[in-house]
Chains A and B, each alone.
Chain A
């Protein structure tokens, strides 16, 4: 399964980068979303995939029964998902605000400090 997901993630990255290279600032934001999703998935998959063994300790035991999925990358990705949402919402509001002030969504028109 890992090779399949590796290729999938490569495609997600390609799509994200393509969108980030657009001139439209809204597309840049969509690219940012794709990128954060792709990166989260990358961390998750690179740590190795395990089926049907969530990292839980059954009631009344002190260690999981048998091998479980690695909990550490999951914790890291969880943090990353939440943070990327924070960044994204900030970016979206910033873009919205910039549009209100400058009335352009073309990044090429935003490259000077004076508008």
Chain B
């Protein structure tokens, strides 16, 4: 199985090459991979039906407990089957849909890579592997949504989906790490049995929040639902695939997968029920306002995702069974509906419901398929959608928490969905014939095959629901409920759910009748839409940019001074803090200062001060010279004759150099205000004080063994020199000295080059000579 997924990625990479050889036949050829996976999955079915789990171990980074182990239980089997089967159909369909698109190879690369990432996600046993595949789906879906990258709207929608889902992905990563900490394992199969330990752990609260954030963003739950309709700019096969079987189902899959681990806490039940019910009702309300076919479908997906989250939240045996039925029903009808929408779009050149009418004469097969799929979406018998909806109602009626509220929301969602489904069939296919931008024609067999198969399955499974019972039982077992024998049937007798269905049918019909009025009324609410979560998203993005701009302007303003001040203040804060925390002893007085030494130190201070204060350039240079010579004297006084000689030489040359160059420069001018000078003085004094303190603290600290003991002992025997400093420079640390020579060489080259630009400069020769002299 791992080989199949990896081979899929390789095949995705090879798609452009295949396309060169096979042309338009590439997509159907590539569909063979998911199709063969479907066969393999069906071959495994007896095992799954018996409640067994297939574990395919594959160690990857054992030291980090990361493995590429796949496991197949009822839940994973169901998702994998949907991914592969619908994936194969979508591949065949898109071969025809994008027949004339020169970018078809790119499309195939992305679609197959996405398919494999999704497959890896639902099969992964290791939390890290799961996360990697999770992020891969975010990334590939970003590229798929932005497939028409010339279109700014597509780029914007793609970025939005990436921001929302990848942002949730970060939260998920944190959540998974905490989950592994709390459960003591990175393996999902092992975690499944440790639910109580995880829920008793101190990290349970934060990890629940993080995991739910990840799942809700991915599955477009309120308040993150807004990216999904915007993602409709993607090519229609992508929308069909993303919505029916994959991407948005990843969050649902994660919730289902973690249900055995986290599912029994009250926080989980209440959050999922409430968010699910709200999303469900909101999706349906927003769907009915639209006239754009694909966006209506997108919102109805939001509604379905909410329903699935709600069912997982309720978490009873009946609710989980309803979840599975709803999942299958949704995958079938939503895939079919989207593919039909793509056919309509290509046939008529419009996606607006109000611009189509009477198409059933021209496109009878499409009309039939659309009718079947819409009946299932509406939840009408005898289709699978009806069984799903009945199961939903009965599960909600048994809910332990918030029963009244979620029932009301679910009922509202059901009746509006019914109206949406009816509109999507009645408007384009019935009524008066309308002019469309293109003369309508029937879809090609390759394009009709997929939706027809999906819609046919909806009908068949609706008529013979016991065919699904085994699957539902196996999946519910994967969700952690053991004694689960599920019975599905179209007719339950005169029950409350049936009454609710009838009531929603009547009210839904009313909504269809007054649709135009409803839309004009809801159009008045348009100004308030910017206050919603999407407005929040854009506000955050704008604020983010403004923050970046402001901090760039503040921190990177081009003034050398402010960079310096910033660096110094950070230094002051960090080192000062360290000194304060360490709170060690300061230097012991040591050998007391002798008079002449103190005079030398005073000379240094006086030289530095004078250099700062002098208005005359010559005086400043002279003061600097005095300071330099005092430093040389210090070296003499404290046993460093080599340093003293070097300092004397360098100081002399510096004074000469400065004297020569400075007089070619303008006189000192006072450019700053007194306030600025005061500020600089404060910063400078603080840093100076810090350095003094630091030195005293170092001198007072414990003395480490000196590295130079070895050099002192071996300077003469090994280095054959009597001046230890020289031996160190040319022998023990010869490479250091070589580096120094190189630096000087570079500086001399730079100086020479800059002066060479204006060869007549008298300073040039002297500078260059000064450089060369210094190597000695």
Contacts and interface: CB of A to CB of B under 8 A. Distances in A.
B64 interface: no
Interface stretch (B308-316, B336-344, B557-565): B557-565
B65 to A, nearest CB: 47
B642 to A, nearest CB: 6
Interface in B602-660: 604-605, 608-609, 611-612, 617, 620, 624, 627-628, 631, 634-635, 637-643, 646-647, 650, 653-654, 657-658
Nearest to B726: A75
B601 interface: yes
Given A42-B695, A79-B740, A89-B771, A99 B722 contact: no
A79 B646 CA distance: 10
B587 to A, nearest CB: 5
A46 B627 contact: no
A52 interface: yes
B434 interface: no
B408 interface: no
Nearest to B672: A23
Nearest to A95: B665
B612 A17 contact: no
B608 A90 contact: no
B706 interface: yes
Contacts of B755: 93, 97
Contact of B699 (A33, A41, A48, A99): A48
Contact of A30 (B589, B604, B611, B688): B611
A85 B654 contact: yes
Given A49-B591, A81-B647, A93-B767, A86 B743 contact: yes
A89 B699 contact: no
A96 B763 CA distance: 10
Contacts of B634: 5, 41, 44
Contacts of A100: 758
A62 to B, nearest CB: 5
B354 interface: no
Given A15-B684, A64-B724, A2 B699 contact: yes
Interface stretch (B130-138, B273-281, B712-720): B712-720
A78 B748 CA distance: 19
A3 B589 contact: yes
B433 interface: no
Nearest to A26: B665
Contacts of B620: 30
A42 B688 CA distance: 12
Contact of B751 (A50, A69, A89): A89
Interface in B690-708: 690-693, 695-696, 698-699, 703, 706-708
Interface string A5-42: 11111111111111111111011111001100110111
A93 B754 contact: yes
Given A41-B631, A89-B747, A17 B657 contact: no
A15 B639 CA distance: 27
Contact of B695 (A9, A61, A62): A9
Interface residues of A, number: 88
B685 A70 contact: no
Contact of B640 (A23, A61, A62, A69): A69
Contact of B774 (A18, A74, A85, A99): A85
A48 B661 CA distance: 37
B762 to A, nearest CB: 12
A61 B716 contact: yes
Contacts of A53: 639
Contact of A23 (B561, B598, B612, B740): B561
Nearest to B729: A75
Nearest to A70: B708
A10 to B, nearest CB: 3
B715 A24 contact: no
Contact of B712 (A15, A50, A68, A90): A68
B736 interface: yes
Contacts of A77: 640, 643
Contact of B728 (A4, A27, A75, A99): A75
B680 interface: yes
Contacts of B661: 92-93, 95-96
Nearest to B561: A21
20 contacts: A4-B597, A5-B601, A10-B693, A12-B604, A16-B684, A48-B699, A48-B703, A51-B637, A68-B724, A69-B640, A72-B728, A78-B725, A79-B736, A83-B740, A85-B774, A93-B754, A95-B661, A96-B763, A99-B665, A105-B666
Interface of B: 557-561, 564-565, 568, 587, 589-594, 597-598, 601, 604-605, 608-609, 611-612, 617, 620, 624, 627-628, 631, 634-635, 637-643, 646-647, 650, 653-654, 657-658, 661-662, 664-666, 668-669, 671-672, 680-681, 683-685, 687-693, 695-696, 698-699, 703, 706-708, 711-713, 715-717, 721-725, 727-729, 733, 736-737, 740, 743-744, 747-748, 750-751, 754-755, 757-758, 763, 767, 770-771, 774
Given A6-B695, A61-B716, A71-B708, 18 more contacts: A1-B590, A5-B634, A6-B699, A10-B691, A12-B604, A16-B608, A17-B683, A19-B612, A24-B669, A27-B668, A57-B715, A70-B706, A74-B640, A78-B725, A85-B774, A86-B748, A96-B661, A108-B671
Interface of A: 1-24, 26-30, 33-34, 37-38, 40-42, 44-46, 48-59, 61-64, 68-72, 74-75, 77-79, 81-83, 85-90, 92-97, 99-100, 105-108, 111-112
